[in-house]
Amino acid sequence: MQTMPKWADIVLIPLINLFLAFFISGLVILAIGEDPVAAVKLMVEGAVGSTYGWGFTLYYATNFIFTGLAVAVAFHAALFNIGGEGQAALGGLGVALVCLMIPWPHWTVALVAASVGAAAFGALWATIPAYLQAKRGSHIVITTIMFNFIAAALLNYVLVNLLRPAGTMDPASAKFPEATHLPTLSDILNSVGIPFAARTPANVTLIIALIACVAVYYLIWRTKLGYQIRAFGKSEPAARYAGISSVKIIMITMALSGGLAGMMAINNVMGEAERLILNSVEGAGFIGIAVALMGRSHPFGVLLASILFGFLYQGGAELALWTSIPRDLVVVIQALVILFTGALDGMVRAPVEKMFLMMRKGA
């Protein structure tokens, strides 16, 4: 029997968690001698107060949707994929190779090919830990996090020794050709008459991210494979008894997860930087874990949580720019959000459940 209604589980508890996280963040800001109210105002204005802010917020959110979905899909099979960072980095390599090696006639074709490249590289990177888990029993948490470091080292090597154009000092690939440049959100919206700030990085990938949300929903709740993944996640022995191959599910789920993480690269590498640079993922792979936790591994929840984290990223950058509040404090705020929505979830859940029980008894 459920002790509380579904809406409380999905809406109320995350909100209470968020409120607590922001409250403590406010205390921290107060402690370093800044005004928390002004800080919040600045964050809100900077992130969602103008189309310029939205352009950045949505750009970050797009990244987080992909990595959040990646973690969420793996969660359904009870696999904790914390290798999103490395998988997204490899996805970037896939995008760079696709864009640099083949002369594309038009961005639409390039986008499809780059998506495939990004997903393939990300998926490939995730299937190695998956294989080790499925066949050898190496724990996926350990292997995926280790693979982040291997990915970083691999990208270092490739950028410094292979992709860096001759004569440049910066370890970055050459600029992608003009034909592969994706239209930005402002290009699209301005063309239909909606004014939107130019020179913001949000681009057409946002639409792909939204499609990915729908696709993941359909996959997990409307297909046989999704059912198998969930069954496996709920109970491995039961799933095996029902004739579901654990090796197959682990491999497929991790490939899907890695592919989604890898597809983030079409946003940041192809859409924004238009060249492959070092550390292009910027921690989005790890934020994806928080996003999936907060979104309760549901695509719609992931979408909302992504926008929240996009807001935190962009608002935080504004905060660092216009006040003496260091950028590191934004990391503190993010950490608090993750702490409360993830680790300390039970702390809030228990009293809320009790409250609902009491209300029921009273009624």
Partner 1 sequence: MTLMKSLMGAAASIALTAGMALAEPAIIFDLGGKFDKSFNEAAYTGAKKWADETGGSFKEIEMQSEAQREQALRRLAEAGSNPVVMTGFAFGNVLGEVAGDYPDTDFVIIDMVVDAPNVTSVVFTEHEGSYLVGYMAAQASKNNTVGFIGGMDIPLIRRFACGYAQGAKAANPDTTVIANMTGTTPAAWNDPVKGGELTKAQISQGADVVYAAAGGTGVGVLQAAADAGALSIGVDSNQNGMHPGKVLTSMLKRVDVAVYDAFSRGTEQPGGFSVLNLASNGVGYAMDENNAELVSAEMQATVDAIADKIIAGDITVHDYMSDESCPALSF
Q: Which residues bind partner 1 (CB under 8 A)?
A: 45, 49-50, 52, 56, 156, 160, 168-172, 175, 199, 201, 268, 272-273, 275, 277-280, 282, 317, 320-321, 327
For 298-327, the DSSP string reads: -HHHHHHHHHHHHHHHHHHHHHHHHSSS-H
CA distance 155 to 163: 10
Question: Least separation, in Å, of the C-beta of 277 and partner 1?
Answer: 5
Looking at the Cβ atoms of 75 and 286, the one nearer to partner 1 is 286
Looking at the Cβ atoms of 273 and 336, the one nearer to partner 1 is 273
Looking at the Cβ atoms of 167 and 346, the one nearer to partner 1 is 167
Looking at the Cβ atoms of 4 and 266, the one nearer to partner 1 is 266
Question: Least separation, in Å, of the C-beta of 120 and partner 1?
Answer: 23
Question: Least separation, in Å, of the C-beta of 134 and partner 1?
Answer: 34
Looking at the Cβ atoms of 225 and 278, the one nearer to partner 1 is 278
Q: What DSSP element (H or E) covers 337? A: helix 327-338
Cβ atoms of 20 and 291 within 8 Å: the answer is: no
Task: Label residue 282 left, alpha or beta by phi (over 0 means left) and psi (-120 to 50 means alpha).
Answer: left
Partners of 203 in beta bridges: 184
Looking at the Cβ atoms of 231 and 263, the one nearer to partner 1 is 263
Question: Least separation, in Å, of the C-beta of 307 and partner 1?
Answer: 18
Looking at the Cβ atoms of 160 and 355, the one nearer to partner 1 is 160
The Cβ of residue 77 has, within 10 Å, a number of other Cβ atoms equal to: 27
Question: Least separation, in Å, of the C-beta of 198 and partner 1?
Answer: 9
Question: Least separation, in Å, of the C-beta of 227 and partner 1?
Answer: 39
Tokens representing residue 138 in the block: 């190496």
To which residue do tokens 């404090």 refer?
329
Q: Nearest Cα to 106, choosing from 25, 237, 245, 204?
A: 204
The Cβ of residue 307 has, within 10 Å, a number of other Cβ atoms equal to: 21
CA distance 160 to 109: 29
Question: Least separation, in Å, of the C-beta of 102 and partner 1?
Answer: 22
Looking at the Cβ atoms of 108 and 279, the one nearer to partner 1 is 279
CA distance 144 to 7: 34
Question: Least separation, in Å, of the C-beta of 297 and partner 1?
Answer: 27
3-state DSSP: the chain helix, strand, coil percent, rounded to 5?
Answer: 75, 0, 20
To which residue do tokens 């809320």 refer?
352
Encoded amino acid at 269, one letter: V
How far from chain centre, in Å, is Cα 47?
Answer: 18
